[in-house]
Amino acid sequence: MKASSLANFRCNCNGTRKERPLVEVIQDVVPTKVEDEAVDEEDEEEAGNEEEEMDEEGEKEAIETNEGMDPHHILDINGGQNSTIRDFDPDAKVVIVTKIQGKLTVGALNQSLCLLTYAYNNRVNYDIVVFAATPIRRKQLELIRSTVYPANLTFIIDNPGLQNIVDGLNPDQKSTLFNRCNVSQSSELDWLTRCEEKTSAGHTNMHLQYTWQSWFRAVHLWEHKALAKYKYMIWADTDAFCTKVWAQDPIAIMRRNNMVILFDNFPMGSARGSEWPRWTKTAFGKPICKILLSKEGHLQPRSYNCIGKKVKLNQIHGFFHITDLDFYRSKEVMNWQRTMMGNATFSRFRDDQIAVTVPAAALAANRSWNMRSIGLNFGMVHDFLLDGQRSERVGGFLTFWKEQANQTFPEAYGKCNAVSPG
């Protein structure tokens, strides 16, 4: 990638935690100790099978949009004369959130937060919440806190321990999980245990640490006490790395236009199978059979008679997005998350990406926007791609940092320690 291209450019479980963590659960933001569930950060391969093509009835019932209209005529991107919402407002109720598995991913976390600080947060100093499934060392925590200072950082152990999570499941959930993981009791499980999952779309065999993060981000994150006082959440995976200073303020754009989600890439994989029409009809009164992106750049759901048919629901990429927390913790949306999960636990198929995509498409499609479609190019590298675009392959972040960062991101070059290739 050339420097010029960069210049133009996220359980309610019973039991208590038995072991004392290596560091205390830090609560700079929330004064009381908060404990719930957990998450990982890297996207793995999409699980799925055949794509079910939309029938003619579905094509006829597509949602009406202003086809071809310039989104700048629909949205207030730069703040008009009548706008009372200013860019880079430090008083906005915003929190930056991410998740790690434990101490082995602290290097990537520190790198990601340092880059985000110089790209954006040093102008607003929004609070930061880091969820972790397992403890980190005190020196590691102190390093991260010094990296983001003067922003407040809250570190939360988000679960009571894997065995306690499993022991708190109901009998059916526990039996199903043991069969999937080929064990007979919870003491045989650890975060690296692989468990098979089968649906009408196929099967996966994933580590519990990954499926736990999917479960946490899909359901438990939204109502977590640590996020209760905030209106907006900037989610960035710990292997999502900024490559330049952000010229525009995505929070101000969210606020001016009453968006519920602003996402960096669509689609990233899809949720497939015959279960989705039934689940979406239960939650929203009609089946969602397909999710597209309109020409203007917002989500566009399609509903028709697809009950019992295998469908393919395109998903918002989960590595970097900004969400309206009031929307996602609303009764209607949380009803969807719980309908989707049903009696399932540690599920790869019912993950965070489809969990955020479906309610936005079903309830607020014209308030759910793709960043690039409206001229926002933040230049986030993840999985060797720029903003998730397969046509914009960056390669390893360490090579980029060594060869180009002094030109494209001089504000952070020499200040952030790049240790993770992304």
Residue 22 covered by a domain: yes
Residue 151: count other Cβ atoms within 10 Å of its Cβ: 19
Residue 346 covered by a domain: yes
Conformation bin of residue 387: beta by default, left when phi > 0, alpha when psi is -120 to 50: left
Q: Tell me the H-state helices in 285-379.
A: 325-328, 331-341, 352-364
pLDDT at 387: 87
pLDDT at 21: 34
pLDDT at 43: 34
Residue 285 covered by a domain: no
Q: Give the model confidence (pLDDT) of 290-316 as tens digits.
A: 999 999 999 999 999 999 999 999 999
Number of domains in the chain: 1
pLDDT at 79: 83
The pairing of strands 202-207 and 368-370 is unpaired
The three-class DSSP label of residue 220 is: helix
Residue 300 covered by a domain: no
pLDDT at 3: 38
Residue 373 covered by a domain: yes
CB 159 within 8 A of CB 134: no
State how far the alpha carbon of 117 is from the alpha carbons of 10, 91, 156, 243, 385, in Å: 14, 17, 20, 12, 21
CB 188 within 8 A of CB 70: no
**What stretches in the chain show pLDDT beneath 70?**
1-70, 72-73, 81-82
Spatial distance between the Cα atoms of 243 and 226, rounded to a whole number of angstroms: 29
When computed from its CA atoms, the radius of gyration of the chain, rounded to whole angstroms, is: 21
Model pTM score: 0.84
pLDDT at 72: 62
Residue 191 covered by a domain: yes
Rounded to 10 deg, the angle between the 106-119 and 138-148 helix axes is 10
Residue 164: which domain range? 3-48+91-269+318-408
Spatial distance between the Cα atoms of 410 and 91, rounded to a whole number of angstroms: 27
Residue 207 covered by a domain: yes
pLDDT at 267: 95
Q: Give the model confidence (pLDDT) of 57-67 as tens digits.
A: 333 333 333 34
Residue 276 covered by a domain: no
Q: What is the CATH number of the domain that holds 206?
A: 3.90.550.10
Cα 238 versus chain centre, distance: 11
